[in-house]
Amino acid sequence: MIEVPKATELKDLFSLKGKVVIVTGASGPTGIGTEAARGCAEFGADLAITYNSRAEGAEKNAKEMSEKYGVKVKAYKCQVGDYAQCEKLVQDVIKDFGKVDVFIANAGKTADNGILDATVEQWKEVVETDLTGTFNCARAVGLHFRERKTGSLIITSSMSGHIANFPQEQTSYNVAKAGCIHLAKSLANEWRDFARVNSISPGYIDTGLSDFVPQDIQKLWHSMIPMGRDAKATELKGAYVYFASDASSYCTGSDLLIDGGYCVRSNPATPPPTMSAPKQETFGNLGPWAEPSWFSSLASPYYNASHKKLRNTIRAYVDEHIKPHMLEWEEAGGAPHSERLKWAQTGFSFTDIPTAYRPGNVPGPAGIPVDQLDVFHLMIMTDEMSRIEGGVATSLEGASVIGAPPIVHYGTEEQKRKWLPGLFSWETSFCLGITEPGGGSDVANLQTTATKTPDGKSYIVNGYKKWITGIPWATHMTTAVRTGGPGASGLSLLVIPVSSPGLTHRRIPNSGQKAGGASFVELDNVRVPVENLIGPENGGFPIIMRNFNRERFIMSISCNRKARTCLSHSFAYASTRHTFGKPLIANQIIASKLATIARYVESHWAWLEQLAFHIQASPKGWQDPSIAGQIALSKVHGGRILELAAREAQQVFGGAGYQKGGGPGAVVEQISRDLRMMVVGGGSEEIIADLAVRQEVGLAKRRGWKL
């Protein structure tokens, strides 16, 4: 029987003076094992710490703890997956220290895939370290505990033993850690007469081991943690001291979750809390379906305080500085340079440019650091900018939103430092040169050629590009060229200075988007340095296609907002316009038109949110090949909704919806001219709908679909 401790005061119960503690996996500078050892040393314990491969780290930790806390500390080599080494460790510690009072089994190994993608050897490696290794430690020290009739075994498990983590797949790790939790409970019963056994299940801990995980995945983790952050390893050491000390003398078989509340939300055995009626917030146009539902009516899991801050800030700027001049700038063919510069300095543009390439005087949008932005922030910025008509938004930020991402994601370090910082002062500005007179959506068959010079230092580019948005203000055109044979495998991506001799461009007089600057471009023996090649030669097609994901997603959001604008303007007009003695909206046929547009707009927005969530959760983000078809189809659907919304809005407005330049239907009339670019740009719906079908069939077959 485990006796009641003689001490009664907390300072004595928590004291570890005279105790000998073994801690496995304590060779790192800031890991869980290292902090557990420091905590025990701080309370007076002598320590045996182990390492597998980092001898220098363990020796350094031993020296530092011994000198700082005045206790005996020695480092030992031990690979816990080998029982003989664990047995030798315990024997050596008994020889050097005289006994073992506490054993902290902390050494472990993570997994980075599921069982279908892992080999049998990878499964064994994780399970043998995390579960079999814990068994080895327990058996080796348990014999000593039984002989002395006292001892405390503390097992480091994980919250992953309680849940299946998302989005990462790590089945072997989850299973092993669940086994550790049950091993502690089983041993607590088996060893009830002579030793206590408990486990600690940490959540996400900032030890540096997860630094390789993409920032968007780490942001997703934080969004699922009620406390909103990772733990520091120092926040765990108190738990180890508690279980090691006599303060926990009546505690055995326990598992202590230290996860910031993660499992409260994630454990399916825990029912979701009953939602009391939240405080109703309102924002923007309070008319029916005039804004996304999360603004004023429905609760949403996707948006937090930073999203609302961004929305409020950009809405105020657009309403004060842009919308009053929208029709004037559209008629002039673009916003003044001073306004473009002012816009760039707000930080609302180029949010995908990493901090390393941003000037220090340019904040993130609404003061939010860019590394804290997610796909829902992009949705908000695009949605708010889409309240600006006539191509004015394009003239404000140029076409860098589609021309710069290839440099951001595929450019060399030298290219990034050369071109990206200048975006915020308009020293550089990009457009995207893909479409040609002979074809647009059929990218694989473009004809513009780039031939390398005999000295290998330059490309000579010849060809034509058409409907190139933003080139009147651009300094560079990110250009698709043919450097190899026919088809997709012969394409490359070159950054061509717009000022290059032989490059000329002229505006195309389109019916809408006058301020968007769509132009015809001629390339006549244009010399481009080979250093301006983005990615590998003949490797441009995948870059172009993946760049389309973001472009089409943005266009789909824009279609949704412009359709919503048609709906809200129609609602307001139909509610105030009287015919035959009653408001237009009192006619059932008018109400039916508005209801139809509303159900399309709202369901499409929900689809966009679902896509945003997937992109945010996917380790590959925008480069996830499985989303291209979904995004393409959402863009097709958005274009169809916009066409219907503009048509029905003009029917509601009657002649006022056809009047250009002013009057109650002026915005609807503007949208009716602008929308064709939204439908055709980024790939015609006929071709990208076919892309969606082909990709979905391929994905279905890979999932195991059979007819």
In tens, the pLDDT along 315-365 reads 999 999 999 998 888 888 888 999 999 988 888 888 888 888 998 888 889
Q: Which of 51, 69, 76, 173 is catalytic?
A: 173
| Reduced DSSP (H G I as helix, E B as strand, rest coil) percent helix, strand, coil of the chain, to 5 | 50, 15, 35
Phi, psi of 442 (to 5 degrees): -85, 70
Q: Are residues 56 and 159 in the same domain?
A: yes
285-292 contacts: CB < 8 A, separation 24 or more?
285/568, 287/568, 287/571, 287/572, 288/568, 288/571, 288/594, 288/598, 289/564, 289/567, 289/568, 289/571, 289/598, 289/601, 289/602, 290/564, 290/567, 290/568, 290/571, 291/564, 292/383, 292/564, 292/605
Tally of domains in the chain: 4
The question of whether 157 is a catalytic residue gets the answer: no
Residue 84 in domain: yes
One of 15, 27, 152, 158 is an active-site residue; which one? 158
Look at residue 688 and tell me if it is in a domain. yes
Given a contact cutoff of 8 angstroms between Cβ atoms, the answer to whether 649 and 657 are in contact is: yes
Q: Which of 266, 299, 321 is the last residue of a domain?
A: 266
Tell me the CATH number at 302: 1.10.540.10
Do both 203 and 121 map to the same domain?
Answer: yes
Instruction: Assign residue 429 the CATH number of its domain.
Output: 2.40.110.10
**What are the φ and ψ backbone dihedral angles of 203, each rounded to 5 degrees?**
-90, -140
Same domain, 177 and 60: yes
Q: Give yes or no for residue 211 having a pLDDT over 70.
A: no
Better-scored residue on pLDDT, 174 or 504: 504
pLDDT in tens, 461-511: 999 999 899 999 999 999 999 999 999 999 999 999 999 999 999 999 888
> Do 603 and 629 have their domain in common?
yes
Q: Percentage of the chain surpassing pLDDT 90? A: 63
User: 706: which residues sit within 8 A by CB, 6+ positions away?
Assistant: none
Q: Are 42 and 179 part of one and the same domain?
A: yes
**End residue of a domain, out of 493, 518, 538:** 538
Least Cα distance to 571 among 282, 287, 296 occurs for 287
175 lies in some domain: yes
Phi, then psi, of 120 in degrees rounded to 5: -60, -35
In a shared domain, residues 120 and 138 = yes
CB 471 within 8 A of CB 519: yes
**For this structure, is 425 an active site residue?**
no
**Residue 666's domain spans which residues?**
545-703
pTM of the model: 0.62
Closest residue by Cα to residue 638 from 552, 697, 531, 568: 552
| Set 177, 416, 465, 593: catalytic member | 177
Other CB atoms within 10 A of residue 659 CB: 15
- Average pLDDT for the chain: 90
Asked whether residue 83 falls in the same domain as residue 185, the answer is yes
Q: Is the pLDDT of residue 704 over 50?
A: yes
Domain assignment present for 679 = yes
The three-class DSSP label of residue 319 is helix
One domain for residues 499 and 526? yes
Q: What percentage of the chain carries pLDDT values higher than 70?
A: 95
Residue 277: per-residue pLDDT? 44
Residues 297 and 405 in one domain: no
Domain boundary among 237, 266, 295: 266
* Domain membership flag for residue 606: yes
- Is the domain of 163 the same as that of 261? yes
**pLDDT at residue 272 in the model:** 41
297 and 383: one domain? yes
- pLDDT of 248 > 60? The answer is yes
| Of the candidate ranges 240-249, 274-283, 306-315, 367-376, the one whose mean pLDDT is the lowest | 274-283
DSSP state letter for 128: I
Residue 2, domain member (yes or no): no
CATH code for the domain of 601:
1.20.140.10
Same domain, 350 and 407: no
Could you confirm whether 593 is annotated as catalytic? no
